[in-house]
Chain A
């Protein structure tokens, strides 16, 4: 971790050196990334949105970023240096940056912070996230019908509400179309480690899974499924279209660009306020990648119908009756989950085996 610190420090130093000559009226926007921009998934899409901000505002905005910042005290230091370097707005793009963001924001009241996927806010800290679970519902719908072994493997990253929500949404919708479906869940405890992700995928395949859902950032599980030959996968965070039409049959695509552009504009206009944004398919923050030709037409049609009903709000991905894992009632018939419960979700729904690591 020391190395990454040094690297981050060096990158920042370079940033300062070049920033010293920048126009004083430029708005400076910083981005803190958890993985490398070339991960092909989560961080890649955040960086695409950063590039979109640059394209939108041209010389009026300068962006800086530091990649592969560990979640923890190091992140705090990176953010502090960004703020000291003159950043007006800083996007911290991983759940684990939540407390560091709050701490640093308290020291720099004039700098605006935007924390992705968290739930702690302050006067100068907004949170934003996407309703990825809507995409997971569509994935579950397809996965439940594509599996022949009825075993679906799920590679989790960390047991945080974001990931647990995705597992539940996928499970509910897989179960709805295939009552015999079973989920095998493996926690990798990393967002990005291609070798470990590949191993996790191989293990799940060896144990009978013929559909792999991943909530980690690299494309390694796609490659593992490809070499196995008969295993279905879904792109995570980014389209991962290079693995289509099979094994990758669809994907969840994060589209942060409109939000990043809007928030940058708000800082430039002086209209920025602390908000909590949670947009889904309808607002365009979550995209469903093209459902490939490997999926039978009727499944594709019903998946697209599900996607559209989620988008126009006529259907909620968590609609009762749904029980918790222990059998106790959670949502009554027709009741939909409230955002507070979803944001802090730390339980599995009925039918999933195993425990959420606490």
Chain B
């Protein structure tokens, strides 16, 4: 065993990168669920975002446009889900699962001609001054911009949900849609917007994989990240800052266990491999005082 071969600075830095796709997808789903909608199609929206982002980035040569395309692609798929569940009142669980299947197939179709192509590079930001701080600089301030977009989204979501009137309305819709409707709020419209926001975030998360993390297009490349994002929303008790903790914990354990393996730690590899899942569940359950939004997953119709 040679733990000295693990560089803690690089470890913590790669933690932030490893956590970002899950964080992006999860924060979107958190808003959706706070609005009272359970969208199980995160995986499908992520992979659609991954391929849309890749196609746009390759076509235009700009990763930024790629991320915008990914958000649009994810939001479009989410809109389908929204129309089906909010206007046609289909079952949210079944529709969400179908959305994942659809997204996986659609992405494979769109990505046909893009296998083996390289994405335009998306350079890391070396933030002046802050990036030069010893230790903290390389860990926190020398990443690609999407890492910070993820953090800003978490902060903005927290601020929106808890400090603005619109956020209060969104939460009211999620807690009791009949009451919100009686007060004159447009339940369906608010939910559609939340669903599209969730789709856009999932798309960004997917594109982070195809444009930054991997970076190339491969069929099925999200490989279950969407389901982990869904789980983290629940374990984080529908709270944005805990969600950040959960995502970083998961990303951190994933990177740490690979590092420990490479360093030859004398713990059976099986335990190391399960450690990200175990640690995330244990910590978030211990902290948990979260309660699901009252109307989560229930169908709303104004006449009932």
Contacts and interface: CB of A to CB of B under 8 A. Distances in A.
B259 A207 contact: yes
Contacts of A223: 118, 214-216
A357 interface: yes
Contacts of A68: 220
Contact of A39 (B209, B218, B259): B218
B203 interface: no
Interface in B1-60: 5-7, 10-11, 14, 18, 21, 43
A219 B216 contact: yes
A277 interface: no
Interface string B89-104: 0000000010011001
Nearest to A154: B262
Contacts of B117: 242
B264 A184 contact: yes
A195 B209 contact: yes
Interface in B113-153: 115-118, 121
A207 B6 contact: yes
A10 B97 CA distance: 13
A184 B215 contact: no
B97 A6 contact: yes
A68 B209 CA distance: 19
Most chain A CB inside 10 Å of its own CB: which residue of B100, B209, B221, B254? B221
Nearest to B114: A38
Contacts of B225: 195
Contacts of A196: 223, 254
A199 B254 contact: yes
A36 B254 CA distance: 24
B5 A207 contact: yes
B258 interface: yes
Interface in A6-56: 6-7, 10, 35-40
A153 B259 CA distance: 12
Interface string A215-242: 0001110010001000000000000001
A187 B209 contact: no
Contacts of A184: 262-264
A60 to B, nearest CB: 28
A216 to B, nearest CB: 11
Interface stretch (B239-247, B267-275, B281-289): B267-275
B18 to A, nearest CB: 6
A38 B14 contact: no
Contacts of B268: 355, 357-358
A150 B153 CA distance: 43
21 contacts: A6-B101, A7-B105, A36-B218, A38-B219, A39-B220, A68-B220, A184-B262, A185-B262, A186-B261, A190-B223, A194-B223, A195-B213, A196-B223, A196-B254, A206-B7, A207-B259, A207-B262, A207-B263, A218-B221, A223-B216, A357-B270
Question: 7 tightest CB-CB pairs across the interface, nearest first?
Answer: A36-B219, A38-B219, A193-B223, A357-B269, A203-B258, A242-B116, A194-B221
